Each structure stands twice: as structure tokens, then as C-alpha cells.
Structure 1
Amino acid sequence: MTKRRFSKQDWVQLGLAELSAKGAEAVKLEAICTAAGLTRGSFYHHFADHEAFLIALADTWFQTQTVDVATAIDPAADAVDQGAALTSAAMAIDYRLELGIREVARRLPAVNAIVQHTDQFRLDVITDLYRKRYGLDAATARSFAYLEYAAFSGIILLDPDMEPERQKMLAALYEASMDKVLGAGARP
């Protein structure tokens, strides 16, 4: 029986799944070929080298766990609904993949650059929401966005398998705290 030929996207999807499940060791060349049940030749048919594969993983991670999440925000919605949509979409991402890609980024400068770009993109989205929702100046909005993103990142580090109900409760507590501190946020 002949095996189905892996496409480049098949390699990337397998890599993301392995990275999420097992961490950075699982996307080393030998490990990923073993997981695919394929040879290095099959791998190199799609990627110039292992670094190109890891960059493809990071690019796909950026698209699915950042750009796609940001598109959950309806530009026509009010700031409260935009924030709720972003929170809901962010809670649906793969937290273990977040940890894995950052582990790879510590080892590979090209992936680190994608992670840094991703963090800035995410901070820009959150900053914009703080400006809209609370009428803050850019610097103050950025500071609050940074605190929220740090809290989100910290949750991923502390409990990447957190139950959705606990995530929702913590998100609601954080939002209520911000509304109390910043005084706005209630629907007009």
C-alpha cells in the first residue's frame, strides 16, 4: 500500500499539533519525520531546511492564533462588544501551542522575530480597544493593554489547561475591575 503524500500544509499542521502536545523537542527534524512516518527526503521536498519549517509553523501560528482572533472583532460593534468578542476568541486559542512556539522562539532568532511581531500586533489590538472603551490617551491605553496581555500570558504559563468556565470567570472579574478603575465601560 502506498502512503498518501504529505503536502507542505500537512507538515505544518502535524508540526503545530506535535508542538502543542509535546513541546519543542517534538518538532526537531528526526522527531517530526518519525511522527509523520515519512523520510527526510519527503520533508525536504517542501522545506529548504529545518529553520524554514519552524518559520512556517510560526507564521501559521501568527495567522491562526492572532490574525484570525483579531478578525472576531466587528468594527461596527461598540467597544464593549468588541472587547467581549476578542476575549471569547482569545480563550479559544491553543494555550499549549503558545508555550511551544515561545520555546522554539528562545532557540531561533527568526521565530523570535515572529513572536515579537505577534506580541506587538496583539498589544496594538488591545490598546485600540482601551482607547475606544475608556477614552484613554495612547500611552495610558498601551500601559493598560500591557497589563492585560501580561495577565493573559501569565495564565497561559500558570495553567495552560484551565477549564473554560474558570477562564470566563477570570475574564469577567478582570473586566469588572477595569471598569471600576477606569470608570467607563458601561454601555451608553
Structure 2
Amino acid sequence: MYEEILDVAEQLFMTQGYQATSTRQITQILGVTQPTIYYHFKKKEDIYYQVMLRLSNDVEINLKKIANASNSALEIKLLEMVEFLKAKHPFNLFVMMHDIQHTVSKETSMKLYQLFLKSYKSPFIQLLQENKNHLQHSVDIDFAVSQLFILMAAYLDSTDRSEDFSKRIYLYLHGIYQSE
């Protein structure tokens, strides 16, 4: 039952956010009672953390696998990483960050933020650092990855599966200004 609770909770948290999801919704979908949920978890925040921990572990493994592929160019790897997030772990980045910052306890917030940095952001930073010789000298890689996440946010939240993110990746990497 533990994994089933996490499966349903993940779906709800990723689509509605933490605040809009209730343990009552989880129990209704599972067809169980509230005490069943509370047998496994003390409170909703514990469910959220376990969902994010499980999700983050999967994200980290797969993003690093894509980033470490030796036969792909930077642009292709970035696109594959974004497409992985879109296909396997759709989420509203802004809702997730709001939840982390404002709706859970400070202790859980810090743990969740560390998960985000390690599992989501770090593989992108690692990839850009490994390709630093192809970037402009003045690029702050941490800032560049933060900007990439802003660019990804609307795409990841979109239900339009036909949208082509490659144009955004190209613009992100090459900019719009052509020097003479």
C-alpha cells in the first residue's frame, strides 16, 4: 500500500501541487480510509517528501545517464534531458518551487531544495561545465542553468506534446545576436 499511496500522491502533487492536494483525494482514488494513509505516513508533508525523494532519485539517474552519453552533442543532450522530464516527470516547475518555499515546514523545505539542486539542477550544471570550452568565457553556469529552467517551465507544464523544444534550445545556446 505504501507504494500505491506514493504513486497516487505523485500524480496529484505533480499536476495540482502540494497545497491543492489532500489526503482525502488520495484515499478516494485508492478506495481506502484516512487511517490507512496515516498508518504509513504521519502527515501529508511526509507523503510529499517521500514522493519527491523517489522522483528525484529517478530524475537524477536518468539525467546523468543522458548527460554522460559520449556520442551526443551538447544541444542534443540538453534536448534529451528536457524531453525526459517532459515525458517521464511532467510537473509545473513554478508550482513545485512555490510549494518548496511556502507551503511546507522550513525543515522539509530545505530538504526538498537540496533534492532539487542535486537531482534536477546538478546534472545540467555538470553538462555545461563539461562543455565550458564551448561557452562564452563570461557565462555563469549556475545562472545559465537557472535561466534554462525558466525556459523549460512553460514547456514542461504544457499539455501540447507536439511542441518542439529544439528551437528554444538552439536560441538558448546561440542567442539572437550575430557578431560581425
TM-score (norm 2): 0.72
1:10 to partner: Cα distance: 0.6
2:6 maps to: 12
Distance 1:130 1:113, change over 3 A: same
Structure 2 unaligned segments of length 5 or more: list them.
none
Higher mean C-alpha deviation, range 150-159 or range 161-170? 150-159
User: 1:56 Cα deviation (Å)?
Assistant: 0.7
2:17 corresponds to which residue?
23
2:34 pairs, out of 37, 40, 46, with 40
Give me the CA root mean square deviation: 3.3
**Paired-residue identity, %:** 9
- Pick 1 or 2: higher relative contact order, CA cutoff 8 A, min separation 6: 2
Tell me what 1:133 maps to. Answer: 131
Q: Deviations over 1:12-39 (max 9, x none)?
A: 1100111233332443223322332211
2:84 to 74, 82, 89: 89
Instruction: Give the helix-richer structure, 1 or 2.
Output: 1
Whether the 8 Å CA contact 1:26–1:32 is kept in 2: the answer is no
CA contact (8 A) 1:24 1:103 kept: no
Q: 1:62 to 1:135 in 2, by over 3 A?
A: same
When structure 1 is superposed on structure 2, of 54-63 and 90-99 the one drifting more is 90-99
Contact in 2 for aligned 1:12/1:53 (Cα 8 Å) = yes
Residue-pair matches, total: 172
1:113 paired with 2:86, answer no
Q: Which position in structure 1 is the counterpart of 2:157?
A: 160
Change (3 A) 1:35 1:88: closer
Distance 1:123 1:136 in 2: 20
The residue number in structure 2 matching 1:148 is: 145
How far off is 1:63 after superposition?
2.0
CA contact (8 A) 2:92 2:157 kept: no
Give ranges in structure 1 of 5+ residues lacking alignment: 1-6, 182-188
| Aligned match of 1:51 | 45
Using the TM superposition, give the Cα deviation of residue 127 of structure 1 relative to its aligned residue in structure 2, in angstroms: 2.6
Higher radius of gyration, 1 or 2: 1
- Compute the displacement of 1:91 (Å): 4.1
Q: Is the 8 A contact 2:17 2:95 kept in 1?
A: yes
Give the AA of the match of 1:47: F
Q: Secondary structure at the match of 1:92?
A: helix
AA in 2 matched with 1:107: T
